[in-house]
A and B are shown apart, each in its own frame.
Chain A
């Protein structure tokens, strides 16, 4: 039962990682570059949720919406500042621009929000729901439910709408998409905003799960998002979701066996192992055929 409990905790945490990794994958696909600002996107989303709850006494749904909206806006800014001006230049410039923006955002938040950890109010009247012999909190259920619904909506969006198909097409080949009359610049902007918005929601969920938000929380969660993306397979959105959940489970099992201080060591060992054994990840595809 102890192990079942750990696995369930892992799934909860993993579903938050999954959401981050899905957002990360969308950005990676549409921009074609890794981003270093994703951690700060998650942090800003978490703070947007925190302020909604603390000052406006908002409910769970509004907090999630605030995280989504704040990070969506940030995504638009990131695209304008870091990607669009350098699209025809060497790719490293955009990469370095995201590092710069990440440092700027982290420092600005420390200045404006303060450097101390903020307590997220318990807005859901957290309590245990006994289920057989494992104990589940209502918050855990709500987090899993939220991620599940978002994943379903995303699937519908990407496979059933014209805009979703255009996003996938632009991720594969921008020139071919432009030749068909797809507005490539607008599609890239949308993809980046959407990926960031999902990061923002995961930030809010993270804040609620751990009862706290912090201006430097981004650094380590961004690495988790990256690990989950690589684990599942770069370029595959279902892979990112699977990678996130598996990462959460492994982390929690590892913490149960060793100690909670080893959490990051466990996930980054997984990253290194995956890169050594199966660099394309679980569901990843080999190089694109053109």
Chain B
């Protein structure tokens, strides 16, 4: 579904990504784990074409999207839920969700209301607060809003960047359960996480990113038992 081939990114003289290659198959959860600054966020930013790539190519559903405009990439069905959530604090919850519809290319004239209903069903909390400003929500609710807004696009691939960042453990668990639920709807998920233990629990496959290269990849369960991964990322 998604093919990333030999991706290179430079920040000035800094060589941040040094030839990243991986694929994501339909209905998979693939997780990218690694330490702060390893290049995980750079990978998704490069896929969304928000930063300049120095080399490499990205294909999605057979189309080359390496140099497409960020707004066109969204319209292909790739939803990027960024680190820090980036919800609009002075727009209401519902307005935030409506914005998620901009990249939706479906011809169904009722899609906005249908998708809103679907998101409200998944997150009853958002429905309760739909007239409230996004900035007044708690961190967990904001993350739910960001995910709900992404679902308004009815995307094929969802790239989630650090959804657990700054949330209480019990909320993190809710979010991860939700990711599984979304996958069961038939969505494909690329999950960036620092919380490697939880990410490997729900993922099918994992890639360990270290200093801009893929140092290890494979089945999530195998990775979770790899002595090197345990020592470096699982903190046991």
Please state if B89 and A179 are interface contacts (CB–CB under 8 Å): no
Whether B82 pairs with A179 at a CB distance below 8 angstroms is yes
Contacts of B1 in A (CB 8 A): none
Tell me which residues across on chain B come within 8 A of A155, comparing CB atoms: none
Whether the pair B101, A162 counts as a contact (CB closer than 8 A) is yes
A180 and B135 contact, Cβ closer than 8 Å, known pairs A162-B101, A175-B86, A289-B89: no
CA gap between A183 and B69 in the complex, in Å: 10
Q: In the complex, how many residue pairs between chain A and chain B have their CB atoms under 8 Å apart?
A: 66
Report B-chain residues with C-beta under 8 Å of the C-beta of A272. none
Interface 1/0s, chain A 214-250, versus B by CB < 8 A?
Answer: 0000000000000000000000000000000000000
Contact A181 B153 (CB under 8 A): yes
- For the complex formed, measure the closest distance between the CB of A288 and the CB atoms of chain B, giving whole angstroms: 7
Contact (Cβ within 8 A) B75 A172: no
Q: Does A91 contact B (CB under 8 A)?
A: no
* A182 and B135 contact, CB distance less than 8 A: no
Cβ-based interface call for B90 (8 A): yes
| A165 CB-CB contact with B under 8 Å | yes
Asked if B91 contacts A180 (CB within 8 A), the reply is no
Q: Let me know if B80 is at the binding interface, CB within 8 A.
A: yes
Q: Could you tell me if A180 and B89 are in contact, using CB atoms closer than 8 angstroms? A: no
Among B122-172, those with CB < 8 Å from A are 135, 149, 153
Interface residues of A in 138-184 (CB under 8 A from B): 162, 165-166, 168-169, 172-173, 175-184
- Specify the main secondary structure of chain A where it touches its partner: helix
Whether B88 sits at the interface, judged by CB under 8 Å, is yes
Which of B84, B91, B104 lies in contact with A172, CB distance below 8 A? B91
Residues of A within 8 A of B135 (CB): 289
With contact pairs A175-B50, A176-B82, A289-B135 given, residues A182 and B99 touching in the complex (Cβ less than 8 Å): yes
Q: Residue B48 at the A interface, CB < 8 A? A: yes
Q: Does A290 contact B (CB under 8 A)?
A: yes
* Residue from the set A162, A180, A184 with the largest chain B CB neighbour count within 10 Å: A180
* CA–CA, A180 and B149, complex, Å: 8
CB A158 to nearest CB in B, in angstroms, measures 10
Given known A179-B48, A181-B75, contact A165–B90 (CB-CB < 8 A):
no
- Minimum CB–CB distance for B81 against chain A, Å: 8
How many residues does chain A have at the interface if contact means C-beta atoms less than 8 Å apart? 21
The distance from the CB of A174 to the nearest CB of chain B, in whole angstroms, is: 11
Report the minimal beta-carbon distance from B26 to chain A, rounded to whole angstroms: 22
- Distance between Cα atoms of A240 and B137 in the complex (Å): 27
CB within 8 Å of B: which of A178-224? Answer: 178-184
Of all chain A residues, which has the CB nearest B101?
A162
Q: How far is the CB of B173 from chain A (nearest CB, A)?
A: 26
Roughly how many angstroms separate A175 CA and B48 CA in the complex, as a whole number?
11
Size category of the B interface is 20 to 34
A165 touches B91 (CB 8 A): yes
Residue on A with the closest CB to B146?
A176
- Give the chain B neighbours of A162 by CB distance below 8 A: 98, 101-102
Q: Confirm or deny: A285 has a beta carbon within 8 angstroms of a beta carbon on chain B.
A: yes
State A269–B97 Cα separation when bound (angstroms).
44
Query: Are A182 and B71 CB-contacts (below 8 A) given A168-B91, A172-B89?
Result: yes
Check if B39 is an interface residue, CB within 8 A of chain A. no
> Is B100 an interface position by the 8 A CB rule?
yes
Task: Knowing A175-B86, A181-B74, say if A169 contacts B149 (CB, 8 Å).
Answer: no
Shortest C-beta distance, A239 to chain B (Å), equals 13
Pair B91/A183 contact, Cβ less than 8 Å:
no
Contact assessment for B86 and A176 in the assembled complex, using a CB-CB cutoff below 8 Å? yes
* Chain B residue nearest to A161 in the complex (CB): B98
Most chain A beta-carbon contacts within 10 A, residue among B48, B50, B90, B104: B90
Chain A's closest residue to B103 (CB) is: A181
Residues on B with beta carbons closer than 8 Å to the beta carbon of A184: 71
Q: Provide the bound-state CA to CA distance between A178 and B74, in Å.
A: 9
Do the beta carbons of B91 and A179 come within 8 Å of each other?
A: no
**Once bound together, how far apart are the Cα atoms of A290 and B83, in whole Å?**
12
B19 neighbours in A (Cβ, 8 Å): none
- Residue pairs across A and B with Cβ atoms less than 8 A apart, 15 shown, are A162-B101, A168-B90, A169-B88, A169-B91, A176-B86, A176-B88, A178-B70, A179-B50, A180-B99, A180-B100, A180-B103, A182-B102, A288-B89, A288-B90, A289-B135
User: A residues bordering B, Cβ < 8 Å?
Assistant: 162, 165-166, 168-169, 172-173, 175-184, 285, 288-290
Could you list 6 further interchain pairs (A-B, Cβ under 8 angstroms) beyond the known A166-B102, A176-B86? A169-B88, A169-B95, A172-B89, A179-B82, A180-B153, A285-B90
In the A-B complex, the 7 residue pairs with the closest CB atoms: A181-B103, A181-B74, A176-B86, A181-B102, A182-B102, A181-B71, A178-B70
Residues of B within 8 A of A (CB): 48, 50, 70-71, 74-75, 80, 82, 84, 86-91, 95, 98-104, 135, 149, 153
